[in-house]
Amino acid sequence: MATVTAGTLYVVATPIGNLGDISARGREVLAGVDAICAEDTRHTRQLLSAYGLEKPLVALHEHNEAEIAWRLVERLRGGESLALVSDAGTPLVSDPGYRLVREVRSAGLKVSPVPGACAAIAALSVAGIPSDRFCFEGFLPLKKGRHTLLTQLAAEERTMVFYESPMRLVKTLEQFITYFGADRPCSVSRELTKKFEENKRGTLEEVCAYFREKGVKGEIVIVVGGSVSKKGMRESVDETEEDN
């Protein structure tokens, strides 16, 4: 069993779909800590049951995180070890947890990552869109600030990664066409690592038309190529000429 150190908060990545994707160390840490902080305790209890584990659970979500963080710090000071998990994937990536991590670090206590699955990185890895430089935008604002953010992102030269719900996917892709242009490269990953996994790649216009006709179910990650400025195009041409 992995060594679990007293007074340490472990940030543990869990599978985004396929239960086999948890690391051996992740399972060992979850088995060894005194309690697990979870966004949805019902979901996490089912996950632990699948691994034959049973642990005390502490609900930690955006509505109570600031309130209970100090209590968890006191438990760590008292010699307990705790794990932090999200419903799926790596905690703090479009999920609660940073306030707790901040308070634990401010208290001079140790925070240790137990890396693993992350939907954003998984989708980026199969998109076939430049991945050497990218920005993660998570879920876009539903209304207030959406226009301003999309206007700013239209000039973003790095590849962009977004999370979206299936019910809003087509509308969001239509807005991307309006703000970014129909020819931008795009990849939509759906139900990553699950039975009906799908990765659809094409231009924004092509991908939008595909899902408009087909319909959408499951968890969604959108990867969109960045803006290619005239300066960037000129530099690419110059580099090609130098290589030749």
Q: So where are the chain's domains? A: 8-117, 120-230
pLDDT band at 120 (very low <50, low <70, confident <90, very high): very high
Q: How many other CB atoms are found less than 10 A from the CB of residue 240?
A: 9
pLDDT in the model for residue 235: 44
pLDDT at 178 over 60: yes
pLDDT in the model for residue 244: 42
Q: Among 3.30.70.260, 3.40.50.720, 3.30.950.10, 3.30.2350.10, what is the CATH number of 120-230?
A: 3.30.950.10
Average the pLDDT over 45-53 and give the result. 96
pLDDT in the model for residue 231: 46
Q: Are strands 57-59 and 35-38 parallel, antiparallel or unpaired?
A: parallel
pLDDT in the model for residue 229: 67
pLDDT at 107 over 70: yes
Contacts of 166 (CB under 8 A, 6+ apart): 190, 216, 217, 218, 219, 220
Structure tokens at 176: 């991307």
pLDDT in tens, 229-242: 644 443 443 444 44
pLDDT in the model for residue 242: 47
pLDDT in the model for residue 233: 43
pLDDT at 117 over 70: yes
DSSP string, 122-164: HHHHTS-S--SSEEEEEEPPSSTTHHHHHHHHTT--SEEEEEE
Q: Among 3.40.1010.10, 3.40.710.10, 3.40.50.10600, 1.20.1260.10, what is the CATH number of 8-117?
A: 3.40.1010.10
* Cβ contact 179:153 at 8 Å: yes
Contacts of 221 (CB under 8 A, 6+ apart): 119, 120, 122, 123, 161, 162, 163, 164, 188, 189, 192
Proportion of the chain in helix, strand, coil states, percent, rounded to 5: 40, 20, 40
Average the pLDDT over 223-232 and give the result. 78
How far is it, in rounded angstroms, from Cα 221 to Cα 175? 16
pLDDT in the model for residue 228: 87
If residue 178 lies in a helix (H) or strand (E), which one and from where to where? helix 169-180
Contacts 24+ apart (CB under 8 A), 165-171: 165/220, 166/190, 166/216, 166/217, 166/218, 166/219, 166/220, 167/216, 169/211, 169/216, 169/220, 169/222, 170/208, 170/211, 170/212, 170/216
pLDDT in tens, 56-81: 999 999 899 989 999 999 999 999 99
pLDDT in the model for residue 2: 59
Confirm whether 8-117 and 120-230 share one CATH topology: no
How far is it, in rounded angstroms, from Cα 227 to Cα 157? 4
pLDDT in the model for residue 146: 96
How far is it, in rounded angstroms, from Cα 155 to Cα 152? 6
pLDDT in the model for residue 73: 97
pLDDT in the model for residue 237: 39
If residue 100 lies in a helix (H) or strand (E), which one and from where to where? helix 98-106
pLDDT in the model for residue 215: 84
Q: How many other CB atoms are found less than 10 A from the CB of residue 78?
A: 10
pLDDT in the model for residue 3: 81
pLDDT in the model for residue 234: 39
pLDDT in the model for residue 153: 98
Mean pLDDT of the chain: 92
Query: Among candidates 93, 138, 139, 82, which has minimal Cα distance to 115?
Result: 93
